Amino acid sequence: MWPSTHAPASKHGFNGDVFFYRRGLLSYVGYRVGQQGISKNTRLQILDCVFHKNLPRVDSPEYMEEWGDPKTAARLKKLAETLAALIRNAKRRANSNNLSEAISDWEADLKYLYSKYYIDWFDFVWPPNE
């Protein structure tokens, strides 16, 4: 199953999608969405490079290990789960209407990864993320 972007309200605030690193890998390589974002074509090129290429070290070795090797299920899973978490977290914010363009971009990019890589390349069960 592909990661869900469903974001039910939580009376306890965020539930498990806390991003602990000061600057994430996608931000580091120039991936930006929403009103201050980059073009769709450039975003997709960045996602393709992140999937196919060796990555720069952004943070701890443990963080970089989460990204797996190029062209692997682990790399695709980390990419998809990162985008899905960003979507869920944005939807939970009180001012999520201000993030509607960013949410739309992330959702489009997640669909792109699904159709370009997951469907044709991998045959594993995608973990549910609700």
- Rounded distance, CA 120 to CA 130, Å? 24
Q: What are phi and psi of 120, to 5 degrees?
A: -90, -25
Percent residues over pLDDT 90 in the chain: 45
Could you tell me if 105 and 37 are in contact, meaning their C-beta atoms sit under 8 angstroms apart? yes
pLDDT digits (tens, 9 = 90+) for 41-56: 999 999 999 999 999 8
Q: What was the pLDDT predicted at 12?
A: 38
Mean pLDDT, residues 19-31:
76
What sign results for the dihedral spanned by CA atoms 37, 47, 2, 128? negative
The end-to-end CA distance of the chain, in Å, is 11
pLDDT digits (tens, 9 = 90+) for 58-69: 777 888 899 999
pTM listed for this prediction: 0.78
pLDDT at 8 over 60: no
